[in-house]
A and B are shown apart, each in its own frame.
Chain A
Amino acid sequence: MNNIASLRNVEVKYLGEEKPSLYVEELTIEEKEFVLLLGSSGSGKSTLLKLLCGVIPHYQKAEVKGEIEVLGGDPRQEGLSGIVLRGAAIVLQNPDAQLFSATVESEVSFGPENLGLPREEIEKIIKWALNVVGMSGLEHKDTVSLSGGQKQRTAIASVLALKPRLLLLDEPVSQLDPQGSLSVMTCVNALPHKAGCAIVMAEHRLHDLYAAGIIREDARTIVLDKGRIAFDGELGEAVNKNILEFYGVREPSIFRVARKIYGKIPTLDRKELIKFLTSNKASYSYSDSPPLSSKILVKIDDVWVRYDRKSGYVLKGVSFDIRKGEIVGLMGPNASGKTTLMKAISGLVKPSKGNITLDLNPRYDLAYVPQNPDLYLVSDSVIEELRLNPRESLDEKIVKALINVLGLEKMLTKHPHALSRGQRFRVAVAAALAGKPKLLMLDEPTTGQDQKNIEALAQILKKYLSMQEACALISTHDVEFVLHNCSRVVVLKDGKVIASGAPWKVLRKEDIVREACLRVPDEALVGLWN
């Protein structure tokens, strides 16, 4: 096979940074190869992808040294448009921010139109590209009304329309629900065969890829650590040698279960592993959640919400309560009413019917961190951000603990908007907790976070809630996070509660999980909770 990209002694240093963010001694990518790029937050995955397509140094200024050749050109000299002309393409994380046309057909046709191809040929390409990503028949659909998974597949089809030889995917499923993620990953997995291009994909959500059953044992896996290649080999070898765990990559939780029982992972084949663990489940069990406190902090009673008289209700008779010390997971497909419910609890939206009773001071005791952390960060430095809260007084002990556990020590004087997305979200969570709220509401807190940071978030939440007699409501698609960290889960669909209860009971009901666009956690499949 031919090399289509090669890097030798490459060093990337962002402007203003002292140390290089990426150092690659030797790396080659071959034609039609599938490469999985793994590593913790800030390990250099995105930097490598952006370097390969010329986004660095053209869009993001950085000093780049060494030899780089992508499809016969140097991305530093040719920039993104030059490298695209040679046959490379990149798809980024946020599907909403990447689409700009009114319909799917219009979006996919943009690439071939830029090549000046005749209309008949463009139509053939559109059909082919949509067929490859499994979206045939949706040509005339509005891009705004697509699901998250469909949007991301449209973005992939749009670059496939240029018939690339190298497709770079930067966390393409990080912002999708498990079913959207499954649809995108099934499509990506087939691309080397169907579209004949090499794929380099950076992704944090290995657990979702594994659950989708599309990660092969022999898939080439590159693990980055602090900007250097720590491992380059087959996925099976990385798992067996505990390399993923060692470098902070979030593994499927079923791997951890298998390791705890057997000290190793008997097989990487998902079906086999589940069968194996199911037959040996007696040797390992989880403890149930502690009993709930009797003190109710938030009581939601038959709440109905609509934004105007003409449109329908977004929430339709939602009822549940949140007790002291509880972390409640709020799950459901996009547009099921999760964000509206959080706004209603915050008093930002008034229910048309029903009541929300809060046993706390709504002026001081509520905190809400939206999915886009940019909209939460209003100060000029991280430390200023932590000091800004509605109480106008600060508990230095809590601030210190937050800085420590969430790993913010080295960024206190930095501008919050100069940090990575994962770091920005952690700063926003720390700022929210620094105000000592009685109810903390987080929207998709695990997006873009590695294993270490997710564990730190769970740890600080539990510690905080036990110390402050508070509670938390977390909107998320992350079934493993809910299973391991929430005392209860409330599942919404079309504005109604379709299920509520202990996560291990609710999340193993296949009908509920399917309706809510989630997936059954592997542990539940294995039957580790009975």
Chain B
Amino acid sequence: MELIELTRLEKAPLRKLNPVSKLVLIISIAILAVTIDNIDTLKIICLASLVVYALAKPGLARIKVTILLLALTVWGTVFSQALFYSGYPRTPIVELVSPETPVIGWATGGIYVYLEGIEYGFKQSIRLIASLLVGLAVAWTTDPKNFLIYLSGIGVSRALALSTMISFRFIPVFVSDAASTLAVLKLRGMSLRRDKPSSVLKYAKKFLTPLYASLVRRARTLSVAIESRGYGQSKHGVRYELRFTKLDYTVIAASLTITIAVLCVKLLFYAYTTGAYYNPALVYVYAFARKYL
């Protein structure tokens, strides 16, 4: 896969939004995904994220990367929850290790695949997918420099603005470096043996060490380059020219309103269910929260 296909800024409707409104959108979707428990409402959030993703008009290479990331996310969360689900009730549907198996069986009381774990894993993966889709869409449609300009312009600290910019700048580089590292590991005779947990850990370390070193070095070079262009040199701040269109204001207002409203309703419902606070006038709010949130 060519790095250029992942890094080029495509002409897409989402580019009309400025970085601040895009970040507000990401944060709102992440908060909603974490707060909401109702699976149908989560599906709607995920669908909304998919619409945002479509507005980034991703090409084939980007769709492939997205599918790979989504598959890994779903597999990872469902697999781990199916095996290690600790809630009750739980229904074992497959026995992987019998409780009578020496050592592992005795120590763990048996390892099973739980039906409720799979369901919970799906719910968690929907949460992650919603944030991931919007995050990728924003990364692919925003000039990384504008993260610095806009975040600094609205008063976000220099370090935070720089970290945000670097993290978005390195998403495509990370994908490319990871592919090269996997290729090198294969040629150096290191393969992933899923049957041995120690081998998985060893492989993960060998995979992450070069990747981490390469990214740290790139991040350092980038920071020097940014500072060498005068970023952060003024002690009293710089007035950057920020452009907020009506669309930006609409997106920010809508995202904040929905997020704050959902948080308030959830908080009231939580107070009601724990017996901390009850108001009969809010009975429709409680019913709404129970049914949809």
Q: Which residue in chain A gives the minimum CB-CB distance to B168?
A: A100
Q: In chain B between 41 and 65, which residues have their CB closer than 8 angstroms to a CB of chain A?
A: 60-61, 64
> Cβ of B189 and Cβ of A392 under 8 Å apart?
yes
Q: How far is the CB of A90 from chain B (nearest CB, A)?
A: 5
Complex Cα distance, B188 from A374, in Å, reads 14
B210 near A116 (CB under 8 angstroms)?
no
**Which residues of A357-412 have CB atoms within 8 Å of chain B's CB atoms?**
363-364, 366-368, 370, 372, 374-380, 388-392
Q: Find chain B residues with CB under 8 A from A308 CB.
A: 60-61, 64
- Residue B67 CB within 8 A of the other chain: no
Interface assignment of A343: CB less than 8 Å from any CB of chain B: yes
Q: Kindly identify which residue among A97, A366, A391 contacts B225, using a CB–CB cutoff of 8 Å.
A: A97
Q: Quick check: B230 and A101 within 8 Å, CB to CB?
A: no
The smallest beta-carbon distance between A441 and chain B, in angstroms, is: 9
Residues of B within 8 A of A364 (CB): 189
Judge whether A94 is part of the interface by a CB distance below 8 angstroms.
Answer: yes
- Give CA–CA (A367, B145) in the complex, Å: 39
Q: Is the interface of B mostly helix, strand, loop or mixed?
A: helix
Known: A84-B233, A111-B230, A374-B213. A101 touches B238 (CB 8 A): no
Chain B residues whose C-beta falls within 8 Å of the C-beta of A161 in the assembled complex: 229
Q: Select from chain B the residue with minimum beta-carbon distance to A159.
A: B228
Name the residue of chain A whose CB is nearest to the CB of B219.
Answer: A97
Interface code B231-268, partner A: CB below 8 Å = 1, 0 otherwise?
11110001111000000000000000000000000000
Assuming A119-B241, A372-B214, is B228 touching A53 (CB within 8 A)? yes
Whether the pair B187, A346 counts as a contact (CB closer than 8 A) is yes
> Which chain B residues in 190-225 approach chain A with CB under 8 Å?
190, 205-207, 209-211, 213-214, 217-218, 220-225
From B22-30, B71-79, B126-134, B178-186, the one touching the partner chain is B178-186
Cβ contacts under 8 Å, B218 to chain A: 94, 97
Interface centre among B184, B221, B225 (most CB of A within 10 A): B225
Known A-B contacts A100-B144, A100-B145; the reply to A158 vs B214 at CB < 8 A is: no
B149 within 8 A of A: yes
Q: Which bucket holds chain A's interface residue count? A: 35 or more
Which of B3-11, B84-92, B97-105, B277-285 contacts the other chain? B3-11
**From A80, A115, A388, residue with most partner B Cβ within 10 Å:** A80
Chain B residues within an 8 Å CB radius of A82:
233
Task: Tell me the bound Cα distance from A307 to B183 in angstroms.
Answer: 15
* Interface 9-mer from A4-12, A102-110, A284-292: A102-110
Assuming A159-B229, A375-B184, is B234 touching A116 (CB within 8 A)? yes
Verify if B169 is at the interface (C-beta below 8 Å from A).
yes
Contact (Cβ within 8 A) B209 A378 = yes
Interface residues of B (CB under 8 A from A): 1-4, 7-9, 60-61, 64, 143-145, 148-149, 165, 169, 177, 180-181, 183-190, 205-207, 209-211, 213-214, 217-218, 220-234, 238-241
- Of the A-B pairs whose beta carbons lie under 8 Å apart in the complex, a sample of 30, sorted by A's number, is A59-B220, A81-B227, A85-B233, A85-B234, A91-B228, A94-B218, A97-B218, A100-B144, A100-B169, A100-B225, A102-B9, A110-B145, A110-B226, A114-B238, A144-B3, A145-B4, A158-B225, A162-B230, A307-B1, A346-B183, A364-B189, A366-B187, A370-B180, A374-B217, A375-B181, A375-B211, A376-B210, A378-B190, A378-B210, A388-B188
